[in-house]
Every structure is written in structure tokens, then in C-alpha cells.
Amino acid sequence: MRIAVDAMGGDNAPSEIVKGCVKAAREFSDVTLVLYGKEDLIREGLDESLTNIEIVHTDEKILSEDDPVRSIRRKKEASMVKAALSVKNGENHALFSAGNTGALLAAGTLLIGRMKGVDRPGLLGTFPSLSDKRSVFHMIDLGANADSKPLNINQYATLGTQYARHVHGIEFPTVGLLNNGTEENKGSLLTKEAYQLLKDNKEISFVGNVEARELLNGVADVVVTDGFTGNAVLKTIEGTALSMMTVLKNSIYNNGVKAKVGGLLLKDSLKGMKDLLDYSKYGGAVLFGVKAPVIKTHGSATAEPVYHTIRQIREMLDSKLLEELITYFEHAEN
């Protein structure tokens, strides 16, 4: 399998991207990584003995502040665009980038193209769960769309179910609808209508409404929501976790010797807390509903998250998940 890597996307590109790719290439001999970007910069971090890393030189790149759709259309020599086109053309099988999220969504949708039958691709992410029942849950849509329809949310449920099944090995994953209350009659016009579609969706195990307060307690394997709410929830989790770590650190440093010694003794525990919300070990966010795996990692990703994401893409390709989805949606009536 061949994975096209945008080596120039992200805050630490290309050095950390290359480092993560080298680690993955060493471990997975069945994967060929094709790195798109400035050849001389990429070569600096490369292990030349690896035969499963290739380089395609490009001079241009998409910046984080570039307008997504315009940059995809105009910067035809950009590393992300050339990598996306290689997937469209069948030279490579999946696209990976840590760069401009909007541009990657546009590249996935406009260059690689939607699966037939999927109206709006959604962004799926994997998060830790504190429940004994499950160690992770998946949430979709994290913000590929600002305005989702009930039909879109129902399709996210099918996509999320297949992801949990094929990539995380859960045969009958449960699906919850993020809502403002657990009772069936709760919700906005959007979620009430989505609820009815989900109830009738025979491809999924729908468990009803779930509330944001319970997300990290692992109320369901897959949580579906519109892209606007999903984006707000994702960013609230990140912001709250960061704020709490900041408060804790400040109070350790400003409360005298006793607190400092306590902090030292607790170092491992505090690291555990930080790790809880470092979900990069589960890989990146999947733009789901396009014809090939398109995966985004955090712009600040270092070699380790890059490596985990390559591993995740390999699992996706290995599982034939997308082939199954393409067949399913081709025959589904929506």
C-alpha cells in the first residue's frame, strides 16, 4: 500500500513529519510512503537505507492562513495538492497531512471526490473514554460541515459504525446522538429529525441521545453530531483540559516548597492526566465519505503522532473498510 504524505504541512514540517515517516517505514515493510515537498529539506531527516520511502519534489506549499478552496484550486504545485492528485489518479491509496485543515477537507472533497451516496463527508476523531466498557469513542462530524442536515448525521452514524468495526474491532458498536437531553423528545429541530432517521437505520446499534457531560465517560462507541456542535465540543474539551493543567501547574509553582515537593512526587500521575487527553496515539482525524482515506493530524504534531497516524492509515487500508463503504453507499437508498 502506498500513502501520499504532505511533508510540508504543519508547524513542525518537514522535519517531524519525516522523522515520524522514517519510524513508520522501518516498522511497516508493507507500506510505501511517498513524501511530497522540498527534496533537500526532506533528505536531511531521511534514513537513506529505507527503500519504502519515496520523494516527489514540490516547491510550493499551502500556508495555514491560505483560503482553503482558493488555495487548492490555484496552488497546483503545492505539496498537499500534488499528494491529493496522486491519490485521485490511483498512484497512491491514502492522503496524510498535518497542514491547513480547511484546505485538506477541500482537497479530499474536490480533488479525490466523495463516495457515491455520501452527501457530505464528515470528520471523525477518536477520543479516550474513562469507562470500563470501552477505552475510546469516536465522534463525527468534528467540523467538516458548518451546517449538517439530519440525513448527513444519519450517514455519519453508518460511517462511524464501520470505522469502529473495521479499525477498532468492535463488531456491534453502539451509536449515540449528541443532544441537550437524553429523552427521545429532547433536542433541536435538527436532532429531533436525526433521531428518527437513526432509529430506523438498520446498519447501526442506536442507543438514543447522549449528553456532552457524559462523553468522556464513554456512553457510546460512536457519537454523531452536526459539524458545528462537534467542532465546539472538540475545542471545549481541549480548552478545558489545557486550562486545568495551567491552573494546577501555577498552583504547584506558587504555593511554596510543600506544593513543589508534592508536584515532584506526583510527576507520573500528572503526566497520566495529561496523557488522558492526548489522543494523538489513536491517530489523526479521518475525513470520512471520500473515496480514499484522507487523514489530518494536529498542526503541532511531532514525529510520534505522525507515526501513529501512518499506523492508523495502514489499518484502514488493510481492513478494506473503504471498499465496503463504497459498495454499501452505492446500494443504499437515502
State the residues that interact with a copy of itself by CB under 8 A.
130, 143, 146-147, 178, 180, 186-189, 191, 211-217, 227-229, 231-244, 246-248, 251-252, 255, 258-259, 261-266, 268-270, 272-273, 276-277
> Residue 240, Cβ neighbours under 10 Å: how many?
11
Beta carbon of residue 175, minimum distance to a copy of itself (angstroms, whole number): 18
Residue closer to a copy of itself, measured from CB, 113 or 263: 263
Residue closer to a copy of itself, measured from CB, 255 or 327: 255
Residue closer to a copy of itself, measured from CB, 202 or 213: 213
Residue closer to a copy of itself, measured from CB, 20 or 102: 102
Residue closer to a copy of itself, measured from CB, 235 or 320: 235
Residue closer to a copy of itself, measured from CB, 128 or 293: 128
Place of cell 478494506: 320
Beta carbon of residue 327, minimum distance to a copy of itself (angstroms, whole number): 33
Please check whether residue 54 is in contact with residue 22, taking contact to mean a CB–CB distance below 8 angstroms: no
Distance between CA atoms of residues 143 and 236, nearest Å: 13
For residue 218, the 8-state DSSP code is T
Beta carbon of residue 292, minimum distance to a copy of itself (angstroms, whole number): 25
Beta carbon of residue 135, minimum distance to a copy of itself (angstroms, whole number): 13
Distances, alpha carbon 25 to alpha carbons 4, 10, 83, 292, 299, in Å: 13, 20, 18, 20, 21
Beta carbon of residue 118, minimum distance to a copy of itself (angstroms, whole number): 20
Please check whether residue 17 is in contact with residue 36, taking contact to mean a CB–CB distance below 8 angstroms: no
DSSP string covering 74-101 = H-TTBHHHHHHHHHHTTSSSEEEESS-H
Beta carbon of residue 134, minimum distance to a copy of itself (angstroms, whole number): 14
DSSP string covering 98-117 = SS-HHHHHHIIIIII-BPTT
Please check whether residue 115 is in contact with residue 331, taking contact to mean a CB–CB distance below 8 angstroms: no
Distances, alpha carbon 163 to alpha carbons 33, 70, 175, 294, in Å: 23, 31, 12, 13
Beta carbon of residue 237, minimum distance to a copy of itself (angstroms, whole number): 5
Residue closer to a copy of itself, measured from CB, 282 or 329: 282
Beta carbon of residue 304, minimum distance to a copy of itself (angstroms, whole number): 21
Residue closer to a copy of itself, measured from CB, 98 or 223: 223
Over the range 245-277, which residues count as b (16 or more CB within 10 Å of their CB) and which as e? Answer: eeeeeeebeeeeeeeeeebeeeeeeeeeeeeeb
Residue closer to a copy of itself, measured from CB, 202 or 258: 258
Beta carbon of residue 45, minimum distance to a copy of itself (angstroms, whole number): 30
Q: Which of 60, 7, 68, 70 is nearest to 33 (CA)?
A: 7
Strand, helix or coil at 210?
A: strand
